[in-house]
Structure 1
Amino acid sequence: MKKLLSVILLGVALFTFAIQSPAWADGDVAKGAQVFAANCAACHMGGKNVVNPAKTLSKADLEKYGMLSEEAIVTQATNGKAAMPAFRGRLKPDDLKNVAAYILDKADKGW
């Protein structure tokens, strides 16, 4: 009986976590696609990087450079870094969240 209860609880826990949305799902992916097309695609079309081809928006590169979270992407886009311009004041916080959600979604799907 104890083993059966443990299996059931484990099944419920796995099911709960399996249907939970990813941590970066705070943003709206569809709206993020529009923001990306208008502000990011010139340098990052298709997840590439025309300025620094080694730092793409692929999942592997995002993970390698510590950008595999909504917060990290929002911080980078807000403040800029190296050749990446700062979008503080040009994009609203919700726009930045949405574009981060879009980037993570596309990276997860392989662009």
Structure 2
Amino acid sequence: MVLFTVVQPVTADTLNSNGAKIFESNCAGCHINGGNIIRRGKNLKLKVLRKNNMDSVDAISVIVANGKNNMSAYQDRLTVEEIQAVSTYVLQQAENNWK
């Protein structure tokens, strides 16, 4: 008997959909619509991300994984793929002005 796993290809739509779900369940409580209810100046708007050199998926992923100041670390709660997906979603939303 041969066992195998069918792996669905990861598309941009799937990544964005997963990122949106992860954001809603883990991030939106503090960062609704890209804002920040704890520290206004540390929001997820593109202007602020650029100002803080956080305007890349890699930079966002580091903060999501490790946290910083009031931001909790998520590396023990999310997989590497989930961190990548939510980081991609955040950057895409910032580039679209959170619409």
| TM bin (shorter chain) | 0.7 to 0.9
- What displacement does 1:30 show? 1.2
Total equivalences in the alignment: 86
Residue 67 (structure 1) aligned with residue 15 (structure 2):
no
The answer to which structure, 1 or 2, has the higher relative contact order (CA under 8 A, 6+ apart) is 1
**Residue identity matched to 2:54:** M
1:1-111 matches, cutoff 5 A: 28-111=15-98
Q: Which amino acid aligns with 1:67?
A: M
* Structure of higher CA gyration radius: 1
CA distance in 1: counterparts of 2:34 and 2:47, whole angstroms: 12
1:23-68: CA deviation from partner (whole Å, max 9, x where unpaired): xx7x811110000000000000000011110111010001011110
Structure 1: which 4+ aligned runs deviate by more than 2 Å? none
Determine which structure has the larger helix proportion and give its number.
Answer: 1
In structure 2, list runs of 5 or more residues that go unmatched: 1-11
TM-score normalised to structure 2 length:
0.83
Question: Which whole-Å CA distance do the structure 2 matches of 1:50 and 1:110 have between them?
Answer: 18
Question: Cα RMSD between the aligned structures?
Answer: 1.3
Runs (5+) with no aligned partner, structure 1: 1-24
Look up the SS of the partner of 2:65 in the other structure: helix
Q: TM-score, normalised by structure 1?
A: 0.74
